[in-house]
Amino acid sequence: MSTRTPSTVRLLVTVQKTGLGAVSSHRSYSPLPIDPLARFRSIADATPTKPRVLITGSLGQLGRGLNTVYKYMYGDVVTMTDIVKVPTDAADVSSYQYLDVLSQGAMEEAVVNNRIDTLIHFSALLSAVGEQNVPLAIQVNCRGVENVLEVAKKHRLRVFIPSTIGAFGPSTPRDSTPDCTVQEPTTIYGVSKIYAERLGEYYHSKFGVDFRCLRFPGIISATKPGGGTTDYAIKIFYDALQYGKHVCYLRPDTKLPMMYDTDCMSSVVQFLTAPPNLLHRRTYNVTGFSFTPEEIATSIQKILPNFKIEYNICPIRQAIADSWPRSLDDSGAARDWGWKAEYGLEETVQVMLALIERDMAKLAPEEVTAQI
Ligand SMILES: NC(=O)c1ccc[n+]([C@@H]2O[C@H](COP(=O)([O-])OP(=O)(O)OC[C@H]3O[C@@H](n4cnc5c(N)ncnc54)[C@H](O)[C@@H]3O)[C@@H](O)[C@H]2O)c1
Ligand SMILES: C[C@@H](O)[C@H](N)C(=O)O
């Protein structure tokens, strides 16, 4: 089993075949009142013209899930790219090629050869790893975006570049942070993401590039996270099932906005198919729900009553989290193109535990540890 098997895919397949109540052989989970495929089906039905999509950084936390969503919606329309080898057992990766986003020429070649019309740019260094290697974060996060926008301009591409709650800072209003507000981030990740937001908006107004950007909160999926500040909200599930205990690097009262994987994927495909005349801006907030480590631990304890959480604060990640919004206002996305998250905390906890428990049953203990 791969370390990056996309949870969206597994959930889609699992629910399709069995219903969530039957996912685990060990525990019974109540069926969720959500059809995870419905939104993808209706978007595909409403937009029958198949896009031709290239995803950079597609072997990271978010890329493979999005590839599988596109495959479900339209068949093989995605060219997946990254700079790392595809895991040997990654059956979902059907069309893959090496692409370093620092090479504009190679990016252009991939776009031309694959007749791409939509470029989804996922390559990045996230908040915690970015602080450990600032020059590389500037290279990948800034030069990469410049190359993406130049190629998009030249070949008239629709381009999606995600931003993040990390694009806000301590001077931003921290509750219900709106789309348009003070942005003075204190990480290189945040600084580079503002650069991406502003450069994208500039290429849109100056050159007519169809630039689209969503500010994501922390994304929760049963896949390996890439080195961010919100990663604990994934590891906690693996630890809960494997050890019955999680040692959290954030304080118990650190509230951050988050979103479940399937909602994240849905926000991307829905936003990318929204008619341009509906968009009143090019960069929108989207979010799911907010919680603290203490609150997610309580939700996990409803299913695993013996689960315990302890704290060993990492000053660097705590400082980053303390500079970010506690909740996001995504009413602009709701109003303009109909965005709505479906998963709350309780649904997310249920799905994550069910998926990970099912996978763990198939794994040797050392493989479980290697997943996180
Ligand atoms: N995961 C989240 O919680 C989250 C939240 C907000 C925003 N985002 C944004 O979504 C995007 C995807 O995030 P993710 O979690 O999948 O990140 P990730 O760290 O898991 O994956 C990033 C990928 O980029 C690749 N990469 C690094 N350098 C590269 C280069 N020079 N050329 C090509 N590829 C390169 C890596 O190999 C990796 O597979 C990022 O832009 C990130 O900022 C993610
Ligand atoms: C929030 C998001 O950008 C990422 N998960 C990080 O923590 O860096």
C-alpha distances in angstroms, 281 versus 17, 251, 265, 284, 295?
40, 35, 20, 7, 34
Compute, in angstroms, the gap from residue 230 CA to the centroid of ligand 2: 6
Q: Mean per-residue pLDDT for 263-270?
A: 97
The percentage of residues in the chain with a pLDDT greater than 70, rounded to a whole number, is: 90
For atom 1 of ligand 2, the residue with the nearest CA is: 218
- Which ligand 1 atom lies nearest to the CA of residue 58? 39
pLDDT at 368: 56
- Tokens 């303390």 sit on residue: 322
Residues 6+ apart with CB under 8 A from 271: 160, 212, 214, 284, 286, 333, 337, 339
- When pLDDT is cut at 50, 70 and 90, the band that residue 3 belongs to is very low
Best probe residue, ligand 2, of 229, 259, 286 (max atoms within 8 Å of C-beta): 229
The edge-to-edge listing of strands for the beta sheet with 289-291 is 218-220, 256-260, 289-291
Average pLDDT, the chain: 91
Compute, in angstroms, the gap from residue 263 CA to the centroid of ligand 1: 18
Closest listed ligand to the CA of 62: 1
For atom 6 of ligand 2, the residue with the nearest CA is: 228
Best probe residue, ligand 2, of 127, 197, 324 (max atoms within 8 Å of C-beta): 127
Give the domain 7-370 fold: Rossmann fold (3.40.50)
Q: Is 189 a catalytic residue?
A: yes
The percentage of residues in the chain with a pLDDT greater than 90, rounded to a whole number, is: 83
Give 11 or 309, the one with higher predicted confidence.
Answer: 309
Mind listing the pLDDT tens digit for each residue in 211-232?
A: 999 999 999 999 889 999 999 9
Is residue 102 a contact partner of residue 139, using CB atoms and an 8 Å limit? yes
Nearest residue to 271 via CA among 318, 332, 352 = 332
pLDDT at 366: 62
53, HSE (Cβ side, Cα atoms, 13 Å):
29
pLDDT at 26: 55
For atom 19 of ligand 1, the residue with the nearest CA is: 226
For atom 4 of ligand 2, the residue with the nearest CA is: 228
pLDDT at 159: 98
**Is pLDDT above 80 for 6?**
no
- When pLDDT is cut at 50, 70 and 90, the band that residue 32 belongs to is confident
Mind listing the pLDDT tens digit for each residue in 38-93?
A: 999 999 999 989 999 999 999 999 999 999 999 999 999 999 999 999 998 888 89
Compute, in angstroms, the gap from residue 164 CA to the centroid of ligand 1: 12
Tokens matching residue 189: 């990740």
Mind listing the pLDDT tens digit for each residue in 159-198?
A: 999 999 999 999 999 999 999 999 999 999 999 999 999 9
Give the range among 23-32, 107-116, 247-256, 340-349 with minimum mean pLDDT.
Answer: 23-32
Number of C-beta neighbours around residue 175 at 10 A: 11
pLDDT at 184: 98
Best probe residue, ligand 2, of 61, 123, 126 (max atoms within 8 Å of C-beta): 126
Q: Is 328 in the pocket of ligand 1 (CB under 6 A)?
A: no
Give 10 or 82, the one with higher predicted confidence.
Answer: 82
ipTM: 0.99
CA distance linking residue 193 with residue 321, whole number of Å: 16
Compute, in angstroms, the gap from residue 281 CA to the centroid of ligand 1: 24
pLDDT at 15: 41
Q: Is 262 in the pocket of ligand 2 (CB under 6 A)?
A: no
> Crossing angle for the helix pair 63-74 and 38-46, nearest 10 degrees?
60
Q: Mean per-residue pLDDT for 298-307?
A: 97
Strands 53-56 and 118-121: parallel
Compute, in angstroms, the gap from residue 193 CA to the centroid of ligand 2: 11
- Residue ranges in 23-143 assigned as alpha helix (H): 38-46, 63-74, 104-113, 127-132, 134-138
Q: Mean per-residue pLDDT for 110-129?
A: 98
Q: List the chain domain ranges.
A: 7-370
Q: Give 10-32 as a 3 state SS string.
A: HHHHHHHHHCHHHCCCCCCCCCC
C-alpha distances in angstroms, 224 versus 9, 231, 326, 328?
14, 9, 24, 24
Q: Mean per-residue pLDDT for 315-335?
A: 98
Q: Is 230 in the pocket of ligand 1 (CB under 6 A)?
A: yes
Please state the pTM of the whole predicted model.
0.93
For atom 1 of ligand 1, the residue with the nearest CA is: 219
Catalytic one among 189, 249, 284, 343? 189
Compute, in angstroms, the gap from residue 286 CA to the centroid of ligand 1: 18
Best probe residue, ligand 2, of 133, 165, 215 (max atoms within 8 Å of C-beta): 165
Compute, in angstroms, the gap from residue 302 CA to the centroid of ligand 1: 32
pLDDT at 33: 81
Is residue 240 a contact partner of residue 307, using CB atoms and an 8 Å limit? yes
**Is pLDDT above 70 for 149?**
yes
Give 23 or 264, the one with higher predicted confidence.
Answer: 264
**Is pLDDT above 50 for 36?**
yes
pLDDT at 18: 36
